[in-house]
Amino acid sequence: MLLSEGSRSRRLFASAFGLVALALTSGCQVKPLYSTGSNTAAGTASVSISEAEDRVEQRVRNELIFLLAGGAGEPANPTYHLELNVSSRDFGVLLSQSDDVARAGRLVVTADYNLTRMESGETIRSGRRQVVSLVDFPVQEFAKLRAIRDAENRAAREMAELVKADVAAALAVR
């Protein structure tokens, strides 16, 4: 008789615990951020992006246009406008002791952005993102310039991914 009471109380406790866990998680939702049928995909496809002022900003802009519209290009009638300002700097971090010349470095790309609704000018999201891309500096000058350009291209792709995720998250809430 004593054994059956312990077993019964364990079952009662497990049932109560299950009901409490079910009640706590009943408000949770899991929904995909980039589903094809959602308003998020349509929202990101209707974002216009400001004109670029330099090569790195143009790379970020081109990548963003491709990512936001799914390869369809710039929207004809945009609903949102993304003001984008990108800057890049390279730093030598590993100096050769014999000639005091940098042999490796890092390229830092920073983007400030502001997403607004076209009709009202209301700011939906603004932010600042930073990407670091590592680079080796060869002895030959042309190879060094090419290595820096490759690092800029890698950083621009990564920056576009980050900004796209921020824009998609902001539009998913709307």
Q: Is the pLDDT of residue 118 over 60?
A: yes
Q: What does the pLDDT read at residue 31?
A: 58
Q: What does the pLDDT read at residue 37?
A: 45
Q: Please, which residues bridge with residue 102 across strands?
A: 95
All residues at 6 or more sequence positions from 80 whose CB lies less than 8 Å from its CB, including other chains: 43, 46, 47, 48, 115, 116, 117, 118, 124, 171
pTM above 0.75, yes or no: no
When pLDDT is averaged across residues 3-13 and rounded to a whole number, the result is 72
Q: Taking a C-beta distance cutoff of 8 angstroms, is the pair 154, 111 a contact?
A: no
Residues 43 and 79: their CA atoms lie apart, in Å, by: 8
pLDDT digits (tens, 9 = 90+) for 147-171: 889 999 999 999 999 999 888 888 8
Residues 161 and 174: their CA atoms lie apart, in Å, by: 20
When pLDDT is averaged across residues 100-127 and rounded to a whole number, the result is 85
pLDDT digits (tens, 9 = 90+) for 9-56: 788 888 888 777 777 776 666 655 555 445 555 566 678 888 889 999
Identify the structural domains of the chain with CATH numbers, from first to last: 31-173 (3.30.160.150)
